[in-house]
Amino acid sequence: MNMGPFRGKDQQVDGSASITAYSWEELAVSDREAFLYAIENLGLRQDDLSHLLTLRDDVAREVMELDSDYRRFFASGVYALEPEVAHRFLVRKQSALRRLGSWLKGYSVHVDNCELVEYHIPLFVLSAPAVDGCRVTFTSEGLTKGEMGWNLILAGSGFTETSVIAVAVSANFGASSGEAKVVFLPVSVQVEQVAILDRNSHVLARGTRAFVAEGLQAPTPGLLLLDAGSEPDPGALVRTFPLAGDTSGEIATYEYSYTQSSPRSLAVSIHALGADVGLKGSQSLQQSLTLRYELRGGYDYHLHNAATEEGLVWTCQGSGSHAQIS
């Protein structure tokens, strides 16, 4: 099991996830850079790689033109009058993707060895300042059924499928003084040592590939109460709550809305079968999160984005105290 950078104790959280798979051809035409990363560990010969990329670029242009034409037809209302138009576009797009997939039909992929690895993908970090009486919780504002949602895209490498994972987690937990918690999704990653053979069973290349394993039980999100010292470092300052002058020790309540400005790059790095392999993709928070903060007077509180993860962490100073990080 690969826990990533975090260590802690598992806690109960309600949630679910579902996986939809897309072909390697769809990844190739939509993202050339991601496709190059997905095949770089296969050890393909330069002439084979050049031919594949030339074909990929040709098919990508065709698919882009088809998508553009389809959007224009849809905007004009033709689709509403002639539903078969959409079907014709779909057939032509599938034909283009099959043309790209035909490159691999001249070869076969033989799996020499494999290993299944569980990897925990952090989704969100929630923390509370390390001051007695402080607490942080989610509100239900903007949430459907009281749940937070994410979409994860992980591109399989070596002519395997791209997985799109929809995650829902109940926002019914919080963090108390000094606690930091991380919502995570455990995914099973299949790592394989493979050989690419030609029609005469001659080995053309050997390499390693990885992909999200399917056909297993759907992953269930988890919640980890982080051990002291394994909390994320603070990144950019997002807000200050100046309460050092409040010597009453009373609790003040605030709310803050957290919004992901753009999808976050996602990288899964695994060591298996004697090699370092990885998956790349993106992670999108599907809605804004409203958090309620209960802060005790006597300290200045500084709310930061987590430096390397999605989420929020704290630093605080009080009269005669040292800086604290939750």
Per-residue confidence (pLDDT) for residue 323, from 0 to 100:
43
Query: DSSP letter at 264?
Result: E
Comparing CA positions, the residue from 38, 11, 17, 57 lying closest to residue 267 is 38
Residue 320, pLDDT above cutoff 50: no
pLDDT value of residue 58: 94
> How far apart are the C-alpha atoms of 290 and 284, rounded to whole Å?
17
Angle at 325 between CA 324 and CA 326, to 5 degrees: 120
Number of Cβ within a 10 Å radius of residue 308: 11
Q: Please give the Cα distance from 134 to 244 (Å, whole number).
A: 14
Token pair listed for 60 = 């990508």
| Vertex 160: Cα angle to 210 and 33 (nearest 5) | 85
Strands of 128-179, DSSP E: 135-138, 147-155, 162-170, 174-176
Average the pLDDT over 260-285 and give the result. Answer: 89
The structure's pTM equals 0.84
pLDDT tens digits along 43-101: 888 888 899 999 999 999 999 988 887 777 766 665 555 667 777 878 888 899 999 99
Instruction: Give burial (CB, 10 Å; 0-12/13-18/19+) of 46.
Output: exposed
Across the chain, mean pLDDT equals: 87
| pLDDT, tens digit (0-9, with 9 covering 90-100), for 87-146 | 787 888 889 999 999 888 878 899 999 999 999 999 999 999 999 999 999 987 777 778
pLDDT at 56: 93
